[in-house]
Structure 1
Amino acid sequence: MKILVTGTAGFIGFHLAERLAQRGDEVVGLDNINDYYDQNVKYGRLAFSGIDRDAIEEGKLVTSTKYPNYRFIKLDLEDKAAIDALFAAEQFDAVCNLAAQAGVRYSLTNPDAYIKSNITGFINLLEACRHNKVGNLSYASSSSVYGLNERQPFSVHHNVDHPVSLYAASKKSNELMAHTYSHLFGIPTTGLRFFTVYGPWGRPDMALFLFTKAALEGRPIDVFNYGNMQRDFTYIDDIIEGVVRVIDNPAKSNPNWSGQNPDPGTSSAPYRVYNIGNNEPVRLLDFIEAIEKALGKTIEKNMLPIQPGDVPSTYADVTDLVEELGYRPATPVQEGINRFVAWYREFFNV
């Protein structure tokens, strides 16, 4: 297939582009390489995939030196004319949108960034898919859409109308926008609710990266909700396997869907939402203990109350993923953390 993957300088997008290129798909990667976090990590990911930093030019397709079937373009999803031109020229079979303004806490101070990237950028993609007859659109949603829901494990069949951050609201908006285009124009769309993704090449603003960096520099870490937070930490390889299965299996309509008793996770349109999580919540203090074990040192902790926008617990019900795509994430947290720490030490030479 010819597949557009947006966000390929980002954590999940980088790994997905690698996986698709390795299996022989024709991949076009797209990213605006913004400065939300250390751009050296973003350029490092691209360089690992054979996209040389010096070859990158705004709006120009660059061919990977590692994978001849992988090309990259620096482009912003908000640039509607450029996105339309790219779709018209390339005629993609499938699109996986992983580009977004990420982060819950950042959305409290920079709300405009989320509207521009996550809403305006997404509508530009939907329109491009519509006018170029793209056969499958998958996109990153988030476990944060569950918001004030306390019923666990979180199921895609639960109502999610009570977000507690603008980031979460923007991801829920993506699901609603996608459903509209599935209903009106028959575009198969699948939303992927990721649960706390971690692993090598991870984001510098995420807990594992922050904690590892602080520990190796001999600094204390901030531990919110006094360490009693629970997260369904999901290893990057498990996430990628789930995404690839969705790319290979476009959403279908649910013949049993009823407007009298509407199921939020499916539709009479070719629309689907899946959780991709480890299905095994881990207490934050236990996660930190696993990092200490991987590093061979104790980390000093500043115990703090929960932050605005955070939810105390996440726990994914992955029944639909297992039953419909035959896949269940399964990497143990200690194993995943060990791999991250090994990568971190090598990348930063520490």
Structure 2
Amino acid sequence: MKALFIGGTGTISSAITKQLSETGWELYLLNRGTRNESLPANVTIIQADINDEDRVAKLIANLEFDVVADFIAFEPAQLERDYRLFQGKTKQFMFISSASAYQTPLSDYRITEGTPLSNPYWAYSRNKIACEDYLIKQYRDNGFPITIVRPSHTYGERSIPLGVHGSKGSWQVAKRMLENKPVIIHGDGTSLWTMTHNSDFAKGFIGLMGNLHAIGESIHITSDETVAWNQIYEAIASALGVKLHAVHVSSEFLAACSKEDYRGGLLGDKANSVVFDNAKLKRLVPEFVATTRFDQGIKQTVEYLLNHPELQTEDEEFDLWCDKVIHALNTALKTITE
């Protein structure tokens, strides 16, 4: 069996690449080669920018695949390009969409693949929905063999998964914890969330590869574990070996006073309680089970980050913003209570 991954080195795709390389699959990665240094030795690299359609077409002219998966498509035009490149050259085309495409706010906290797709808060999610619509049309009209996969909040060893962080990543929040500084949690911290370790996601994804029952289907892949945001931050602090000093701030307030896209990322995603029903995935991949509990997985992430200083990117602007938000809340409280 032969597969081509467009990308292959991100948080989700790197875990799939690693696990797939240990099987009998023949794996090709098409990317620009900027993060290929740690790839398994038996992976074949096609070094190119997928946006250079003419060059890619020449490089794959004599190749056909059982599976092509695009991990870095975010807009319909990119899927139109993929259709031109891979129609007739693959038995299955897998598109990585997003669980944030599901209806926001939800009419039912339990999410199945039948939950409507609608997100008025986040352009990212609306673009993913448009991508799905395009692929479904190609499947219906032209028999393009698609499988749509919807990840939720998937994490690995290189970054701590959080609700609120700055543009330079999540390390600054960990640094605040280590320095005994207060940390912002959106809302009251009791909304429900699902964290999925990338090694668990990879198991489900590989089970869908070459799976004839997955053709024409949309499937989300998540853990069955549900945790509240307060539990998430407590687990991170515990992994760091410190006490958590939490400050709860309204998601609407955070979205209003930040330069970051908290309207999309919070109001359109993380501020809402979600519980995923993975029955469809387990029907298609009977052996699937997510085995990495969040408090276990986050210990691995924190240990890796503490041992790799090059990943500890500081964000002074975000740090100052946190202090300003907390100071504003304390000032308002003092004004009201005096």
Q: What TM-score results when the alignment is normalised by the length of structure 2?
A: 0.77
State whether structure 2 residue 252 is matched by structure 1 residue 295. Answer: no
Is the alpha carbon distance of 1:121 and 1:304 closer, same or farther for their aligned partners in structure 2, counting shifts above 3 Å? same
**Corresponding residue SS for 2:307:** helix
Instruction: Give the total of aligned pairs.
Output: 289
**Corresponding residue SS for 1:47:** coil
Structure 1 partner of 2:24: 24
Whole-Å separation in 2 of the counterparts to 1:323 and 1:284: 30
Structure 2 partner of 1:273: 218
Q: After TM superposition, give the deviation of residue 135 of structure 1 in Å.
A: 0.3
Structure 1 partner of 2:332: none
Is the alpha carbon distance of 1:275 and 1:215 closer, same or farther for their aligned partners in structure 2, counting shifts above 3 Å? same
Structure 2 partner of 1:95: 68
The answer to whether the Cα contact below 8 Å between 2:155 and 2:161 also exists between their aligned partners in 1 is no
Q: After TM superposition, give the deviation of residue 221 of structure 1 in Å.
A: 3.4
Structure 1 partner of 2:259: none
Whole-Å separation in 2 of the counterparts to 1:135 and 1:217: 53
Whole-Å separation in 2 of the counterparts to 1:169 and 1:221: 31
State whether structure 2 residue 305 is matched by structure 1 residue 344. Answer: yes
Q: Map of 1:202-221 to 2, 5 A cutoff?
A: 202=159, 209-210=170-171, 211-216=173-178, 220-221=182-183
State the AA in 2 paired with 1:138.
M
Write the deviation string for residues 224-282 of structure 1: whole angstroms up to 9, x where unpaired.
22423421111111100011011131345xxxxxxxxxxxxxxxxx4101111113321
Write the deviation string for residues 1-21 of structure 1: whole angstroms up to 9, x where unpaired.
221112223111111111112
Whole-Å separation in 1 of the counterparts to 2:298 and 2:7: 23
Write the deviation string for residues 175-222 of structure 1: whole angstroms up to 9, x where unpaired.
212211211222221111112101213478876944435434665433
After superposing the two structures, state which structure 1 stretch, 237-246 or 305-314, moved more: 305-314
Structure 2 partner of 1:59: none
Whole-Å separation in 2 of the counterparts to 1:5 and 1:219: 42
Structure 2 partner of 1:84: 57
Structure 2 partner of 1:264: none
The answer to whether the Cα contact below 8 Å between 2:71 and 2:95 also exists between their aligned partners in 1 is yes
State the AA in 2 paired with 1:235.
H
The answer to whether the Cα contact below 8 Å between 1:5 and 1:29 also exists between their aligned partners in 2 is yes
Structure 1 partner of 2:153: 196
The answer to whether the Cα contact below 8 Å between 1:83 and 1:125 also exists between their aligned partners in 2 is no
Structure 1 partner of 2:231: 286
Is the alpha carbon distance of 1:280 and 1:288 closer, same or farther for their aligned partners in structure 2, counting shifts above 3 Å? same
The answer to whether the Cα contact below 8 Å between 1:98 and 1:139 also exists between their aligned partners in 2 is yes
**Corresponding residue SS for 1:149:** coil
**Cα RMSD (Å) of the superposition?**
2.6
The answer to whether the Cα contact below 8 Å between 2:12 and 2:155 also exists between their aligned partners in 1 is no
Whole-Å separation in 2 of the counterparts to 1:183 and 1:283: 40
Structure 2 partner of 1:262: none
**Corresponding residue SS for 1:239:** helix
State whether structure 2 residue 278 is matched by structure 1 residue 318. Answer: yes
- Out of 133, 143, 149, the position equivalent to 1:176 is 133
Whole-Å separation in 1 of the counterparts to 2:164 and 2:50: 27
**Corresponding residue SS for 1:274:** strand
**Corresponding residue SS for 1:22:** coil
Write the deviation string for residues 157-176 of structure 1: whole angstroms up to 9, x where unpaired.
12213442111111112221
**Corresponding residue SS for 1:197:** strand
Write the deviation string for residues 75-115 of structure 1: whole angstroms up to 9, x where unpaired.
33332223322332432221111114xxxxxxxxxxxxxxx
Is the alpha carbon distance of 1:129 and 1:218 closer, same or farther for their aligned partners in structure 2, counting shifts above 3 Å? farther
State whether structure 2 residue 87 is matched by structure 1 residue 142. Answer: no
**Corresponding residue SS for 1:88:** coil
Structure 2 partner of 1:2: 2
Q: After TM superposition, give the deviation of residue 31 of structure 1 in Å.
A: 3.2
Whole-Å separation in 1 of the counterparts to 2:81 and 2:163: 28
Fraction of identical pairs, as percent:
21
Structure 2 partner of 1:222: 184
**Corresponding residue SS for 1:128:** helix
Q: What TM-score results when the alignment is normalised by the length of structure 1?
A: 0.74
State the AA in 2 paired with 1:325.
V
Write the deviation string for residues 47-79 of structure 1: whole angstroms up to 9, x where unpaired.
222xxxxxxxxxxxxxxxx41x31234433332
Gap runs ≥5 in structure 2: 256-262, 313-338
The answer to whether the Cα contact below 8 Å between 1:148 and 1:164 also exists between their aligned partners in 2 is no
Whole-Å separation in 2 of the counterparts to 1:164 and 1:296: 36
Whole-Å separation in 2 of the counterparts to 1:32 and 1:280: 36
State the AA in 1 paired with 2:276.
A
State the AA in 2 paired with 1:336.
G
Structure 2 partner of 1:63: none
